[in-house]
Structure 1
């Protein structure tokens, strides 16, 4: 049976729950950050709160709540208001991988982007080695559009990214 998740705005007091997964090497291995120190996780949450308070807000970061517990975060970023484009991203505690929660989260983020913010196109990227994330993006109806070479500077060099996209009418 599919678990039900809630999305809510991230709060300052959430940093410890975020740190539970952001401090794990397995969670950050495909990312240009981490594993986080407590200070780095606090800085991330502070940055999210500052972005949420901006007048012309473009970054929407949601705590993912399952049975009252924060198990991850999802983000929608409005990249270009004139061209109505956005980008989604997500991260979950590994205890919740492989259960369909990330797919449900990605679908919710797409819905928010298309229906609450009137976006025309939403994209996402992932490490070509991250087959789990690739499957999530495909399951929520995103199309693999190509490969961005040397897209992210990682601790051990540059990383390519796969680009996925979805249009509002798809």
Structure 2
């Protein structure tokens, strides 16, 4: 049985093989991937991503969730949210098609991932990171109640250079969902 979560405006579900074209419409966009550690994707890379997400769904116990964000009004796939578990902690991330930026969808999806992580998976702590230039993502983390933990300096090497990250987290007893 796959994951299906409902928020006010979104159905959050497991990715399916036929989602590839919709995912590729944002995963291949340099504007979307500017602050990501991946992309912009080739079509083959997007197809491989979809296959990896389908393989994740088969693992038991499940520790990785890459989920599609579907508008409840018209069924359009507008992005994805990821959730990865290790040692009663989870890391959440999100990616939205730019046509849907600044409309609260990332916050809505990430808040549901906090609820899912704490109430259904039984986590103690959930964290997220973003590049310091990605103010929109940092604002999402603040909006959903995460606390700024610090600035990780040049801690990862991607796309030919070292990158900093800002880290935010929330503990189970701090969550009000």
The alignment's TM-score, normalised by the length of structure 2, stands at 0.90
Equivalent in 47, 63, 70 of residue 52 of structure 2: 47
> How do 1:125-144 residues align onto structure 2 when only pairs under 5 Å count?
125-144=129-148
CA distance in 2, matches of 1:97, 1:129: 16
Shift of 1:49: 1.0
In the other structure, the counterpart of 1:159 is 163
1:76 aligns with 2:80: no
Shift of 1:156: 3.5
The runs of 5 or more residues in structure 1 that have no matched partner are none
Equivalent in 116, 120, 130 of residue 120 of structure 2: 116
Equivalent in 83, 101, 107 of residue 105 of structure 2: 101
Describe the SS at the equivalent of 1:169.
Answer: helix
Deviations 1:127-165 (A, max 9, x none): 000000000000000000001122332213010110100
Which stretches of structure 1, 4 residues or more, deviate above 2 A after TM superposition?
Answer: none
CA distance in 1, matches of 2:131, 2:153: 11
CA distance in 1, matches of 2:135, 2:11: 25
In the other structure, the counterpart of 2:12 is 7
Shift of 1:60: 1.0
CA distance in 2, matches of 1:148, 1:117: 27
Shift of 1:42: 0.3
The runs of 5 or more residues in structure 2 that have no matched partner are 1-7
